[in-house]
């Protein structure tokens, strides 16, 4: 688990990223200071975790922007993507670009967080290095040509760090330093590590519904719960455009619940899901595989 294979020589350590992540984790440790404990801060952190991770990253950045799993009117889509920007995992254009690279070359050297390089590389290591191919802005613009022209997304891309600072100052004015510690530092560390677990743990532990060639993605139940449905990762890699990731009865997917609510309200349309069909059990094997078919669910 702790090993990392040799990193491509093209990768360059980013001192800025190392300092940023270090300071962020140090700031989160301030939650252990008794005078900075705040129940309102804890509840704020949990609410913002759902808002920025589930609605923002999972629904806005991932299932809506990256994979076009459903359509939203612009006045609904923009707030969702803004919530994702508040997760501070890069701007929406770069986030989508990296994730599309991941799907195009999953678990290979062209995958930004190739899980074959080790747990820690896929979990965190790739974020403190710069690679000329992965981080090439022209390549990112090309792979995100469907969204990179949008002026609002360009604004979020350019200013996502300043937006976080402004958000922190707003929390400081409302709830004082405890709200900043819990609502920014602790919340971002929680969102980060849970998101990273999708890249690491959900490529290492769990089971598979679909047999995928040269793809390590798994369905990891505890990541599925923590990451708002994103941990049903084998399902997702088999059918990236499916708005629903949890496909079997016990695969709870809270982000899918949010999409269903938007669908009931007539806001999410052209919702795409996959319908599974069990294949015959393999001889001399305990594995049961499935096949699926993408279908369009009318809103």
Confirm if 147 and 65 have CB atoms less than 8 A apart.
Answer: yes
Contact 42, 72 (CB under 8 A): no
- Give the residue-averaged pLDDT of 212-232: 95
Mean residue pLDDT of the chain comes to: 91
**Total domain count, the chain:** 1
User: What percent of the chain has a predicted confidence (pLDDT) above 70?
Assistant: 90
**Would residue 192 count as lying in a domain?**
yes
Domain containing 220 equals 12-297
Is residue 138 in some structural domain?
yes
Position 198 in a domain: yes
In a domain, 2, yes or no: no
User: Quick check: is 116 in a domain?
Assistant: yes
**Token pair recorded at residue 276:** 């599974």
pLDDT grade for 294, boundaries at 50, 70 and 90 = very low
Whether pLDDT at 274 is above 90: no
What is the per-residue pLDDT across 68-111, written as a single tens digit (0 to 9) for each? Answer: 999 999 999 999 999 999 999 999 999 999 999 999 999 999 99
Whether the pLDDT of residue 221 is over 70: the answer is yes
pLDDT at residue 296, rounded to an integer: 40
pLDDT exceeds cutoff 60 at 249: yes
Please state the rounded mean pLDDT for residues 3-26. 82
Residue 216 has a pLDDT of: 95
Q: What pLDDT sits at residue 211?
A: 83
Is 253 a member of any domain? yes
Full-model pTM? 0.91
Q: How many CA atoms are closer than 13 Å to the CA of 117, on its beta-carbon side?
A: 20
Segment 115-145, tens digit of pLDDT = 999 999 999 999 999 988 899 999 999 999 9
In a domain, 110, yes or no: yes
Establish if 6 belongs to a structural domain: no
């Amino acid at each position: 688990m702790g090993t990392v294979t040799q990193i491509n020589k093209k990768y360059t350590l980013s001192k800025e990223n190392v300092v940023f992540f270090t300071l962020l984790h140090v700031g989160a440790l301030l939650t252990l200071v008794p005078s900075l404990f705040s129940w309102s801060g804890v509840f704020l952190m949990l609410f913002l975790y759902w808002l920025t991770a589930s609605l923002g990253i999972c629904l806005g950045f991932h299932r809506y922007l990256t994979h076009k799993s459903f359509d939203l009117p612009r006045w609904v889509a923009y707030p969702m993507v803004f919530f994702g920007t508040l997760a501070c995992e890069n701007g929406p254009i770069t986030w989508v670009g990296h994730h599309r690279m991941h799907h195009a070359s999953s678990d290979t050297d062209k995958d930004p967080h190739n899980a074959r390089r080790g747990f820690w590389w896929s979990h965190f290591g790739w974020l403190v290095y710069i690679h000329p191919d992965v981080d090439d802005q022209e390549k990112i613009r090309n792979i995100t040509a469907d969204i990179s022209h949008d002026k609002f997304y360009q604004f979020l891309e350019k200013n996502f760090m300043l937006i976080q600072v402004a958000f922190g100052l707003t929390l400081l004015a409302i709830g004082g330093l405890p709200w900043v510690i819990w609502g920014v530092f602790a919340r971002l560390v929680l969102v980060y590590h849970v998101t990273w677990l999708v890249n690491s743990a959900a490529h290492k532990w769990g089971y598979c519904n679909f047999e995928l060639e040269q793809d390590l993605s798994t369905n990891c139940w505890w990541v599925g719960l923590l990451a708002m449905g994103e941990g049903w990762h084998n399902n997702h890699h088999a059918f990236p455009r499916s708005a629903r990731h949890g496909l079997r009865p016990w695969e709870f997917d809270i982000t899918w619940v949010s999409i269903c609510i938007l669908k009931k309200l007539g806001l999410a349309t052209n919702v795409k899901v996959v319908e599974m069909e069990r294949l015959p059990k393999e001889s001399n094997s305990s594995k049961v595989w499935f096949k699926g078919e993408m279908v369009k669910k009318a809103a």
